[in-house]
Structure 1
Amino acid sequence: MDFIIDAWDFSQQPATRVQSLEGKPQAGCWYHLQRDTEGLDDWLKQAEIPEPLIDAMIEEDTRPRFQRLKDGFVLLLRGVNLNEGAAPEDMLSLRILSYKGTIFTFRKRPFKAISHIRQSLEKQDGPDNLNDFLVHLVEQLNLRIEDVIDSVEIKIEQMELEGFNKTAEQQSVLSTLHRRLLRLNRFVRPQLAALDKFTTESERWTDNELHQWLLNERDTTQRLLEQIDLMLEQLWMQRELLQQAVAEKMNRNTYWLSVIAGVFLPLSFLTGVFGINIGGMPGVENENAFEIFAWALVGIAIVEFLLLRRLRFW
């Protein structure tokens, strides 16, 4: 069965890997499944899972949500994409189905959070039961989202310290960070609502300690969302300051061009007048006329410079 990535039996302590994958799923076990592999839907039908739930688990596009069922629940979450060459903000969908005492997780691409839990189970240092597994899973998803958010926060702080000397490069960085935070916000916000409902419902079937851990993870998600909102505000402020710096730079350049044009305007007028090739021009018969005229232009430029300096044009 190529669609079964891994399976663990939590009915005994410590949890052990399910040896036989033939037949129906066993109660008290966790099955990690590749949702885009042929044959998965038939296997789930053999496990007597209703078709609407199967469709919800293998459909292409989903948003985080929680739905309580008669025999379990559906929990759709998102995690950052930490696969090689991928953008972290392209969040991956993780579908969790708890049905008649069995937990199924569905993925399309690998999750670092799932890999961490599998390694912990192999070292016999993982979750103690299925409820504990769910707490660990939410915790690991939050930890990796937090790492991405912290990296964005560090870049924003670096930009605040650098100033606005490289406006074009900084504009590109700001756009990248802004796009990353918007994509994170798109899924973390509904994920908070899903975890809020999940935590409330979990009080019915889990012990007080695990319920408190879930409350902590729900609060962590709330904190991450508030941190995203704060950084989005910081980016807008940085963008406004950057635009102001660009405007001031353009105004300064325009001002100096105007000063230079003001200095050369009378000089250009004089050279244009004396460039008229008609009779009656003064100095035509004088061999020192050009030198005199050149020094006169230099003198006029110096007078203009001193006049503008005295009038405090800069």
Structure 2
Amino acid sequence: MSGFAYIVRDGKVEQPILKEALGKNAPLSWIHLNTNDERAQLWLSGEAKLPQPVIEALTAMETRPRCDLFGPAALINLRGMSSETLDSSDPLASIRMYAHGGCVFSVSRKQLNAVQPVRKQVENGKILDPGDLIAAIAQAITEELDPMVAELGDSLDDCEEQISRHRAFDLRRLVNETRVKAIGLRRFLYPQRAALEKLAGLPVEWLAEDDRLHLAAAADRAARMAEELESIRERAALTHETLTDLRSELIDQRSLMIAVVAMVFLPLTFITGLLGMNVAGIPFAHEPWAFAGVVALCVVMAVAIAGYFLGRHWFER
């Protein structure tokens, strides 16, 4: 069965097998499972003997960040980045945690990037109780998401800068991709902020004052990222509208240019077509200067028509 366990006691860190991690009277027992393995779900109900509502919450297919109190225990669901390929509509992997006393059960379906650095903190003796563990996971998630949100903002800044350089046709796809990413992240960061704030205020003994401060800091960071994503989403919508307007304006300009060129050549085409008829009686047909005269007449007419449109400022519209 996929998963791992840690026991922290008297400053020492043990890594037993999952079964031996249960029932230990230690300041911290952390058991992490991957519910893609069906045996993990059976283990939660069999070996771990967790309440059925908790098992259903830990193994649910679709989840949003949340924090619920179960008596002296708490159920926390957070979202973070994953190294695995995820859908664009669901860009963040979830980790569900159930903390009771000194024991923390955590469950994930996709590999969560934040788990590995937290494991290193546990092994180095920097995490001593459930509050430290949950706060560390929350901080690791927000620290990884923060530069990604900033990168989205920088990408949109580049798009807005290039708009001023009239490169509208190259930017529509990039703006749409940025907007889709911002919407996907915003969908989870708002409830994650609420979950962290609620967790920081839970009346449970295993949350120390420093843990609450760390959770509050993570919640504040999540709130800032959510506000930034909302701003990115609105800016992306405005940028897309601007690109659409620029594209329409460019198409109008090109259509106007084509219309002006057609208007210049329309009378010339009529004259050349009229004089090109194979019938008798065409004036000056046998004169040596006839061809040069027709060409000169066409040039004069073209210049006159173009001058008319320039005088009406059609090329500036």
Q: Common fold, TM-score beyond 0.5? A: yes
Deviation track 1:188-236 (CA, whole Å, cap 9, x = no partner) reads: 1221222222122156642222212221211111111111111111112
The question of 1:303 aligning with 2:276 is answered: no
TM-score normalised by structure 2 residue count: 0.89
Q: What CA distance in whole angstroms lies between the structure 1 residues aligned with 2:313 and 2:58?
A: 73
1:217-296 mapped onto 2 (5 Å cutoff): 217-296=218-297
Residue identity in the other structure for 2:16: Q
Tell me the residue number matched to 1:129: 129
Q: What CA distance in whole angstroms lies between the structure 2 residues aligned with 1:109 and 1:142?
A: 17
SS in 2 for 1:32: strand
CA contact (8 A) 1:3 1:34 kept: yes
Tell me the residue number matched to 2:60: 59
Tell me the residue number matched to 2:8: 10
Q: What CA distance in whole angstroms lies between the structure 2 residues aligned with 1:162 and 1:282?
A: 59
CA contact (8 A) 1:10 1:130 kept: no
Note the aligned Cα RMSD (angstroms). 2.2
CA contact (8 A) 1:3 1:38 kept: no
Tell me the residue number matched to 1:21: 18
Deviation track 1:78-104 (CA, whole Å, cap 9, x = no partner) reads: 1123x1665786110111111353101
Cα shift at 1:25: 1.4
Cα shift at 1:291: 2.8
Cα shift at 1:288: 3.6
1:1-314 mapped onto 2 (5 Å cutoff): 2-4=1-3, 6-14=4-12, 16-23=13-20, 25-27=22-24, 28-45=28-45, 46-81=47-82, 83=83, 90-122=91-123, 124-163=124-163, 165-202=166-203, 205-314=206-315
CA contact (8 A) 2:21 2:31 kept: no
Q: Flag structure 1 segments of 5+ consecutive residues without an equivalent.
A: none
Cα shift at 1:52: 2.4
SS in 2 for 1:201: coil
Q: What CA distance in whole angstroms lies between the structure 1 residues aligned with 2:94 and 2:212?
A: 24
Cα shift at 1:165: 3.3
Cα shift at 1:287: 4.5
Residue identity in the other structure for 1:12: D
Cα shift at 1:24: 6.2
Cα shift at 1:132: 0.8
SS in 2 for 1:39: helix
CA contact (8 A) 1:32 1:105 kept: yes
Q: What CA distance in whole angstroms lies between the structure 2 residues aligned with 1:12 and 1:270?
A: 103
SS in 2 for 1:280: coil
SS in 2 for 1:7: strand
CA 1:218 to 1:203, structure 2 compared with 1: closer, same or farther past 3 Å? Answer: farther
Q: What CA distance in whole angstroms lies between the structure 2 residues aligned with 1:112 and 1:65?
A: 20
Cα shift at 1:273: 2.0
Residue identity in the other structure for 2:77: L
Q: What CA distance in whole angstroms lies between the structure 2 residues aligned with 1:44 and 1:84?
A: 25
Q: What CA distance in whole angstroms lies between the structure 1 residues aligned with 2:296 and 2:108?
A: 83
* Greater shift in the superposed pair: 223-232 or 295-304: 295-304
Q: What CA distance in whole angstroms lies between the structure 2 residues aligned with 1:272 and 1:254?
A: 25
Deviation track 1:125-163 (CA, whole Å, cap 9, x = no partner) reads: 532222111111111111111121011111111122222
CA 1:156 to 1:274, structure 2 compared with 1: closer, same or farther past 3 Å? Answer: same
* Greater shift in the superposed pair: 193-202 or 229-238: 193-202
SS in 2 for 1:67: strand
* Equivalent pairs, count: 309
Deviation track 1:239-273 (CA, whole Å, cap 9, x = no partner) reads: 12211211221121122112212211211221222
Cα shift at 1:73: 1.4
CA 1:53 to 1:133, structure 2 compared with 1: closer, same or farther past 3 Å? Answer: same
Q: What CA distance in whole angstroms lies between the structure 2 residues aligned with 1:276 and 1:179?
A: 62
Deviation track 1:60-88 (CA, whole Å, cap 9, x = no partner) reads: 2111111110241111111123x166578
Q: Flag structure 2 segments of 5+ consecutive residues without an equivalent.
A: none
Q: What CA distance in whole angstroms lies between the structure 2 residues aligned with 1:312 and 1:22?
A: 84
